[in-house]
Structure formats: C-alpha cells, structure tokens
Structure 1
Amino acid sequence: MDKSAIRNAATVILQRSTPDGPAILVGQRGAKAAFMPNKFVFPGGAVDPADGNIPLGSALPAPCDSRLREDGSVDPNALATAAIRELWEETGLILGTPAAWPDAPEDWHAFAAHGMRPHAAHLRFFFRAITPPGRPRRFDARFFLIDADHISGDLDDFSAASDELSHLHWVPLADVLTLDLPFITEVVLAEVARHPDPSQAPQTVPFFKNTDEESLFLRLNGAPLED
C-alpha cells in the first residue's frame, strides 16, 4: 500500500441526549499508532474495497447522497457502509435495521448474528476534511453525525469493541474540548455545537480541501465557509 496516497475514510460522530445536555462518544488511539497517537478521536477509519458490495438495509437520505458525490468519485454507499462498520468494529455499537442476513460476509457475521443489516437512513453527512500534506497518513474523511437514539442495544456496552480505541466513553459536549484532540476534531465539534439537532442534515457541509497545491475552505452544496 502506498502510505502517501490519500485514502477515502468515514468517521462517526455519535451524539447522545442526557439530562445535562448532549454527549459525544470518543476513544483514545494507542501510543504506537502511526496516525494521531494518544489522541482522543471519533470512531472511524478507511473505506475497504468490499464496503461498496455490502447491501444496505436502507439508503442514505437524498441530500447526504448528493453532497457526498460532489467533488469526489467514491460511492456514497461505500462511505456509509464504512461508517457503520467502523462504528461496530471500534465500539461494538450497531446501527442496523432488523432483517435476516444469511449470506453476510465473514467480517459481518457477528453483526448479522444480532439479526441486523447496516442501516444508512439516519446518517447525516456533516463534515469533510483531507489530511494536509506531510502527515504519515492522509485521508479524505467524511464525518457522519448520528443521533444515538437510532443505535440498537445498550449505549454503554462496549464489550464487543476491538482494541483499536481505548477509554471509550461519553463526554458532555461542553467538556469534550478538555481532552487531547486533533485540531480537525476540535473544528468538527465547533460545528456540532452550532447544529443542535443531529436528526437534521446541515444546510451546507464544510470541506477542508488540502491538496499538494493549495488549502481551501469550502462548503459543499452551498455558500463559501463563513468566518
């Protein structure tokens, strides 16, 4: 694999309502991780080639689908599948719709064993950012906001999670900036704070487009990024 190549990726911002206000799910990357070691991040990762072949139990909402296609060539359904898969692998939480899946691929057997198929209808495409040049890994990351009410099962049960993220926990949105976060995560959280309803797609999607030639701040399907 060419480590300098920009890989398509999907990231999940899972937002939960609590009596004290909204909370966000984060975990900590390992100290030896090549990309963002020790940082607290949202669940997410690179799109796998097989993600485009997974049958979704529901489609992405139309505004999100069209914005994902803007200035990009990757299949929106592959991005949605990657988001659901990474959420499942890294946290053990399921975004699915009840349905039998007898021919699920091996990597999805544990997911399908819960009587679920991946469910994209409640994903909200919220943010996009390309890692700047010079980093050990570069990703074209699409951030999806999800209302935790749509997650199946216990929101505090991470027993099925992989070991990729440690210290998985819900942090009040008002307190999350006290953690050791990547810069782009701080920017995304500022957008989340300005967008109180996770069930609604934003009017426009911010796009930090960092290429080898220039860095641009754009909004997909809308006006230039506001100050």
Structure 2
Amino acid sequence: MTGNGGGPVEGPLSEAPGPRSPRPRDAASIMLLDRSQAHVRVLVGKRNKAHVFMPDLHVFPGGRRDTSDRRLPWDGDMHPAVLERLKNCHGQRAPESRLRAIALAALRELHEEAGIAVGRKNSGNTTLPFLPDLTNLRYMARAITPPGHPRRFDTHFFALFTDEAGVEPADVRDSRELEDLRWIDVNDVSAVRMPDITEIILGDLRASLESDASLPFGRPVPFYYTRHGRFVRDLL
C-alpha cells in the first residue's frame, strides 16, 4: 500500500458504505517512540473488549478531539512545518485553534491512557496537571475511518521521541482505556493484533525512519481514505 509522488494508490481494504454512515470526527493518535535500544520501539495498548470501535486490538494511544481541547493551556507550540501540513489537510483558512486542539488531544489522550505527561507541571486548576508541549510532535499520517463503521474518525497520527519529550519508557501504566501497554519493535509487531490501518501506518513509519531517523518535521504526510468503495493512499 505504498506509492511514489502525490498521486493516490488504491487497494481493496475498505468496507462497502453503510446506509447511515456517521460523519467522521476529529481525532488524534500518538506514536511514542523509544530509540534508546538497538531498534526503535513504539508504545501500543489493547483496547478493552467492551469498546464498540476496534475492541481487543492493540493501537497507539489516542482518541477523539473534545470541544474543551481548544481551551487547554499549553506551553510549547507546534513546529511551523507541522502546522503547515495540518493546514494542507483542512485548508489554509482553518482556525489554528482547531488544528492546535487536534495536537493537544493527542497529548491529553496519551496522559489519560498511558499516564504520560509531555510538558511541565501545571499547579493551576485546569483539566490537565501539566502544560502540553507540542514542540517535538511530528505529523506522520492522516486516516479517515471507512463508511460502514458504527464510529468514524478523521485521525491525525503524530510521532514523538521519548528522549526529546523527557519521557521515561518505564513510566507507562495501563488504564481503563488501554490495557496491556507494551513497547514493541517497529520492525516486528507479530506479538500483537492490530487494525489494518495501524499496521499500514507503522509501515510508513518504518520507511520514514529508514529514510531519515530524525523524522524531519516537514515530511510529506500519507492520507488514507475511501473513494467509491476503494481504499486510497494520497500524500499531503
């Protein structure tokens, strides 16, 4: 499911449209990367079997953007190249507050699902006990859930290196949202069951790391969606 340049690549992995498919909601996911060992590892956790969306599968921490995410105080802002890529997705007139809220949702969800705070402590009476630092987020991929699912999300995937964020890999902990949190080698995911799109985006991550292990901020972003019942990969 890879292609060259900016043209779409189509494949058979999508589902047929449902009769009343819900509108996709903004969501964000974090590929938290540990490069302290011989091979880069990524954090994944298993969604509870009671979840309607992707139960019993291992995924990256993440979730939908809440309305309140626009009002979250933050410390460091997104890299200009990341903001520009997000504008390429949603249009140059898209409010920066909405685009920033997507990135803030990613860090909020990482804290809620894995107990990891990226940013300095915040003693004020706010939603989060820390001020999210968006400085080191790389924008890696965008994927829209195909029609036919009971939940649909327009998910933006960000990457973050633990050493840049001041995160200790041993500090992650399970939550009600994500169980069996574990670090897996990005080159070997055989120990867990993942959604197809998660494996595809991991493949993109591997290719990006092989091209430049620093993951430059302004890299092209693969965009996955369905068109006329076909699975499409485009570049933003």
User: What's the TM-score once normalised by structure 2's chain length?
Assistant: 0.81
Q: What residue is the counterpart of 2:144 in the other structure?
A: 130
- Which of 1 and 2 has higher RCO (CA within 8 Å, sep 6+)? 2
Which residue of the partner structure matches residue 82 of structure 1? 105
1:142 aligns with 2:165: no
Match of 1:85, SS? helix
Instruction: Tell me which amino acid in the other structure corresponds to 2:118.
Output: L
Please point out which of 176, 180, 203 is paired with 2:219. 203
Q: Closer, same or farther in 2 for the Cα pair 1:184/1:153, shift >3 Å?
A: closer
Contact 1:208–1:216 (CA<8 Å) still a contact in 2?
yes
Cα separation, 1, equivalents of 2:81 and 2:181? 31
Q: Secondary structure at the match of 1:60?
A: coil
Q: CA shift at 1:199, angstroms?
A: 4.6
Equivalent pair of 1:123/1:146 in contact (CA under 8 Å): yes
1: CA distance between counterparts of 2:78 and 2:118? 13
Give 1:71 shift: 3.3
Divergent runs of 4+, >4 A: 211-215
TM-aligned CA distance change 1:183 to 1:208, over 3 Å: same
Matches within 5 A, 1:1-227: 4-72=22-90, 73=94, 75-96=98-119, 98=120, 100-104=122-126, 107-108=127-128, 111-112=129-130, 117-159=131-173, 161-196=174-209, 197-201=213-217, 203-210=219-226, 216-220=232-236
Asked whether the equivalents of residues 136 and 165 of structure 2 are also in contact (C-alpha less than 8 Å), the reply is: no
Q: Distance in 2 between matches of 1:209 and 1:188?
A: 13
Mapped partners of 1:143, 1:173: distance in 2: 15
Quote the sequence identity (%).
32
Instruction: Give the Å deviation of 1:83.
Output: 0.5
Deviations 1:130-177 (A, max 9, x none): 000001110000000101113345321234x53111000111112224
Tell me the amino acid that sits aligned with residue 114 of structure 2: T
- Say whether the 8 Å CA contact 2:81–2:217 is kept in structure 1: yes
Question: Unmatched 5+ residue regions in structure 2?
Answer: 1-19
User: SS of the residue aligned with 2:170?
Assistant: coil
Q: Secondary structure of the equivalent of 2:104?
A: helix
CA 1:212 to 1:135, structure 2 compared with 1: closer, same or farther past 3 Å? farther
Task: Give how far 1:200 is off.
Answer: 2.0
> 1:176 is paired with a residue of what secondary structure?
coil
TM-score, normalised with respect to structure 1: 0.84
Q: Provide the C-alpha distance between the structure 1 equivalents of 2:34 and 2:167, rounded to a whole number of angstroms.
A: 14
Aligned length: 209
Structure 1 SS opposite 2:68: helix
Contact kept in structure 2, 1:80 and 1:120, CA below 8 Å:
yes
CA distance in 1, matches of 2:227, 2:214: 30
Letter aligned with residue 191 of structure 1? D
CA distance in 2, matches of 1:119, 1:66: 18
